[in-house]
Amino acid sequence: MIIILRSQAADEEIHAVEQRIRDMGLEPHVSKGIQRTVIGAIGDESKVDKEALEALNGVEKVVRVMKPYKIVSRDSHNAETVIDVSGVPIGGNTIQIIAGPCSVETPEQMEQSAKAVAEAGCRLMRGGAFKPRTSPYTFQGVGVEGLEMFQKAAKAHHLPIVTELMDVRMLDTFLEHNVDVIQIGTRNMQNFDLLKEVGKVHTPVILKRGMSATISEWLMAAEYIAASGNHNIIFCERGVRSFETAYRNMLDVTAISVLKRETHLPVIIDPSHAGGKAWMVPSLSRAAIAAGADGLLIEIHPRPTEAWCDADQALSPNQLNELMVELKGIAQVIGRDL
């Protein structure tokens, strides 16, 4: 940890900083430059509270030398982690396209969706039984019976399922229904109690990025899950908040290469929630795979304009088929399978 002092810092202020560093169990190394004094604090930085040093008189700023995340960091584990989702690998050389409807609606809709997903060549299915909606007056999901409908349709086509957990009290129900991947949504990325609980099970977790979370905060949210014991974590970028109003969220395609450098865990992209319009999805999907993503989470619906939620962003089964052909081609160019 490096402490940069203000140019007017007095000697007694500098001594107080040194003392505080020693109290924290680290060793201060003072170097006085022409215009500023800088103190290096040598030792285990994770014991040190940055804010406590910044609170001291004479301190301009404090810079961490080490990454605050450990288990999820590539420094701790250099090889790519491949996560086994009921037999389907996520991470590694094979790209996975996870498709399905925004929400579980009816047994027929789920059967048609599962059929379309499997026929397009996808190996995992998504769908929501509990929906986080901005308004309390709109459709909130069909609930627990949706999990049953979902499993029945997906299993008939041998597709492991991905579905969102919003309420910690519902975790046991998810386990009873053998949910294959638990999704933590963007609004719950820093719901720390929820993170700790999914950290105690072994079900793989897709951790969506918070609406305006930095990549570092996102890695730390994953660290909460990992520190509780569950290392089966998949990052999912789904667009972040910006000033632009031409689409719903701004897909942060640069996050893919940054995450690939920082963590050994798989990274997937949700182009549907990013753009928010079906006509943007093919372009964003191709970009994500070309950039190096390990997979996609795509919304489809047997009859998009009749979907009970997010009707404007679902692809039709035909559109999914066409997209899969392009994605396979791009995967091949960069030496991967799909």
- Residue 99 identity: A
Q: Give the footprint of a copy of itself on residues 151-170 (CB under 8 A).
A: 166-169
What one-character DSSP code corresponds to residue 224? H
Which H helix or E strand runs over 19?
Answer: helix 11-23
User: Residues 56-95, buried b or exposed e (16+ Cβ, 10 A)?
Assistant: bebbeebeeeebebebbbbeeeeeebebebeebebbbebb
| Phi/psi-derived region of residue 271, left when phi > 0, alpha when psi is between -120 and 50, beta in every other case | alpha
Token digits for 172?
């046991």
| Phi/psi-derived region of residue 143, left when phi > 0, alpha when psi is between -120 and 50, beta in every other case | left
Give SS3 for 192.
helix
Residues 86, 159: Cα–Cα separation, whole Å: 9
Q: Give the footprint of a copy of itself on residues 101-120 (CB under 8 A).
A: none
> Total binding residues for a copy of itself by CB under 8 A?
110
Q: Does 311 bind a copy of itself (CB under 8 A)?
A: yes
Binding residue for a copy of itself, selected from 10, 63, 156, 175, defined by CB under 8 A? 63
Q: Does 85 bind a copy of itself (CB under 8 A)?
A: no
Binding residue for a copy of itself, selected from 15, 19, 75, 158, defined by CB under 8 A? 75
* Pick 49 or 119: Cβ nearer a copy of itself: 49
Binding residue for a copy of itself, selected from 132, 156, 158, 172, defined by CB under 8 A? 132
Q: Does 30 bind a copy of itself (CB under 8 A)?
A: no
- Residue 150 has φ and ψ, to the nearest 5°, of -60, -50
Q: Does 40 bind a copy of itself (CB under 8 A)?
A: yes
Binding residue for a copy of itself, selected from 253, 321, 322, 336, defined by CB under 8 A? 253
Q: Does 143 bind a copy of itself (CB under 8 A)?
A: no
Q: Does 133 bind a copy of itself (CB under 8 A)?
A: yes
Give SS3 for 49.
coil
| Phi/psi-derived region of residue 109, left when phi > 0, alpha when psi is between -120 and 50, beta in every other case | alpha
DSSP symbols for 259-309 = HHHHBSS-EEE-HHHHH-SGGGHHHHHHHHHHHT-SEEEEEB-SSGGG-SS
Shortest reach from residue 130's CB to a copy of itself, in Å: 9
Span from 53-61, 84-92, 142-150, 171-179 in contact with a copy of itself (CB under 8 A): 53-61
Q: Does 244 bind a copy of itself (CB under 8 A)?
A: yes
Binding residue for a copy of itself, selected from 99, 313, 315, 320, defined by CB under 8 A? 313
* Pick 106 or 332: Cβ nearer a copy of itself: 332
Q: Does 256 bind a copy of itself (CB under 8 A)?
A: yes
* Pick 133 or 152: Cβ nearer a copy of itself: 133
Span from 80-88, 89-97, 114-122, 211-219 in contact with a copy of itself (CB under 8 A): 211-219
Residue 82 near residue 267, CB atoms below 8 Å: no
CA-based diameter of the chain, in Å?
76
Shortest reach from residue 87's CB to a copy of itself, in Å: 29
* Pick 88 or 96: Cβ nearer a copy of itself: 96
* Pick 9 or 88: Cβ nearer a copy of itself: 9
Q: Does 187 bind a copy of itself (CB under 8 A)?
A: yes
Q: Does 144 bind a copy of itself (CB under 8 A)?
A: no
* Residue pointed to by tokens 């049953």: 148
Q: Does 11 bind a copy of itself (CB under 8 A)?
A: no
- Residue 253 identity: V
Q: Does 19 bind a copy of itself (CB under 8 A)?
A: no
Q: Per-residue contact track with a copy of itself, 270 to 309, x per CB under 8 A? A: ----xx-xxxx--xx-xxxxxxx-----------xxxx-x
